[in-house]
């Protein structure tokens, strides 16, 4: 078969452009492609919600690829293993309650499951601002990540969403944007992003479930962003809480959207 270079270029431009156009108005927009964001996208897409993920890096998967200090193994506790089993990710029992898994397999399967469920992923795309209307987050302002890295003055475009998930990890970027730009009070003790505490896996894993919640109308936090917003401990290379947080936020949003639909 003869390969035509222009046909290849047209195929990429036309199909990507159409996919982007189709995702300018979604049910849920997820910022950050780590394990919590991927889990949230998987469960929401399975429920037939229209879900788009925006990740500023080239790769999806957050810090899970590197395991601990670039030893590409991760640990999940018994509760997190439930999701690993559901995803058909292989785990090995290390000690009672502790299970290890290959970090590469885990990320690859999470991405595959989420995308096949219907999650639309846009990598190299940053959320540089948010849209707020009538005291509710209603969308994102997005731009190519290389624009920011190069210090170029290039205007962004807007996307609309019924709900936004901040799954940006330690920086909790969307929560900070909302607080800094709108001057609103978040649903934290201080009304601000409280900042994460030092590493204590046991406390961090316990806190992440209670910290995964809606922090302002239309805006939810999941994964390490949840602990950063509410002042919880960081956990290091144990990832059960990340997976459970992603599933929890999907359930919260499902419940809220169903309730709003019936009002």
Question: Mind listing the pLDDT tens digit for each residue in 151-201?
Answer: 999 999 999 999 999 999 999 999 999 999 999 999 899 999 999 999 999
Q: Which residue has the tokens 């078969």?
A: 1
C-alpha 133/C-alpha 139 separation (Å) is 9
Q: Which long-range contacts (CB under 8 A, 24 or more apart) does 69-73 make?
A: 72/102, 72/103, 72/104, 73/100, 73/101, 73/102, 73/103
> Tell me, what's the pLDDT at 89?
98
pLDDT at 139 over 80: yes
**pLDDT > 80? residue 263:** no
- Full residue range of the structural domain in which residue 43 is found: 32-62+103-262
Q: Does the residue 151 lie in any domain?
A: yes
- The answer to whether the CB of 238 falls within 8 A of the CB of 202 is no
Exposed e or buried b for every residue in 47-63, given b needs 16+ CB within 10 A?
A: bebbbbbbbbeeebbbb
Please report whether residue 18 resides in a domain. Answer: no
What integer pLDDT is reported at residue 262 of this predicted model? 83
CATH of the domain at 193: 3.50.50.60
Whether pLDDT at 6 is above 70: yes
**140 in a structural domain:** yes
**Is 63:173 a contact under the CB 8 Å cutoff?**
no
Q: How many distinct structural domains can be found in the chain? A: 1
> What is the share, in percent, of the chain residues with pLDDT greater than 90?
98
Confidence of residue 71 (pLDDT cuts 50, 70, 90): very high
Q: Rounded to an integer, what distance in angstroms lies between the CA atom of residue 211 and that of residue 217?
A: 16
Q: Is the pTM of this model over 0.95?
A: yes
In a domain? residue 36: yes
Q: What are phi and psi of 41, to 5 degrees?
A: -60, -40
Q: Quick one: average pLDDT of 250-263?
A: 92
Distance of alpha carbon 250 from alpha carbon 163, whole angstroms: 11
pLDDT digit string, tens, across residues 222-244: 999 999 999 999 999 999 999 99
At 261 the pLDDT is: 86
Residue 221 has pLDDT above 80, yes or no: yes
Tell me how far apart the alpha carbons of residues 7 and 134 are, in angstroms, rounded to a whole number.
46
In a domain, 243, yes or no: yes
Examine the pLDDT at 117 and tell me if it is beyond 90.
yes
**Residue 245: pLDDT above 80?**
yes
For the cut 90, the answer to whether the pLDDT of residue 9 exceeds it is yes
Contact yes or no for 103/120 (Cβ under 8 A): no
Could you give the percent of the chain with pLDDT greater than 70?
100
Q: Residue 82: what pLDDT? A: 95
């Amino acid at each position: 078969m003869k390969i035509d270079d222009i046909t290849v270029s047209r195929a990429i431009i036309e199909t990507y452009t159409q996919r982007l156009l189709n995702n300018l108005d979604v049910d849920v927009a997820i910022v950050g492609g780590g394990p919590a964001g991927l889990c949230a996208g998987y469960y929401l897409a399975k429920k037939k919600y229209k879900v788009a993920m925006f990740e500023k890096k080239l790769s999806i998967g957050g810090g899970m690829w590197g395991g601990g200090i670039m030893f590409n193994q991760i640990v999940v506790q018994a509760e997190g293993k439930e999701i690993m089993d559901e995803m058909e990710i292989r785990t090995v029992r290390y000690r009672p309650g502790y299970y290890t898994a290959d970090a590469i397999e885990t990320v690859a399967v999470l991405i595959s499951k989420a995308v096949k469920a219907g999650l639309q992923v846009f990598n190299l795309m940053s959320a540089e601002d948010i849209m707020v209307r009538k005291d509710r987050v209603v969308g994102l302002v997005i731009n190519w990540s290389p624009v920011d890295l190069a210090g170029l003055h290039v205007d962004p475009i807007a996307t609309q969403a019924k709900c936004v998930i901040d799954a940006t990890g330690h920086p909790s970027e969307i929560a900070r944007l909302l607080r800094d730009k709108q001057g609103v009070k978040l649903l934290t003790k201080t009304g601000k992003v409280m900042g994460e505490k030092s590493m204590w896996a046991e406390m961090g894993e316990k806190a992440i479930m209670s910290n995964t919640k809606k922090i302002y109308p239309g805006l939810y936090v999941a994964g390490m962003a949840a602990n950063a917003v509410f002042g919880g401990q960081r956990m290091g290379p144990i990832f059960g809480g990340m997976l459970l947080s992603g599933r929890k936020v999907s359930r919260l949003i499902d419940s809220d959207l169903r309730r709003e639909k019936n009002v």
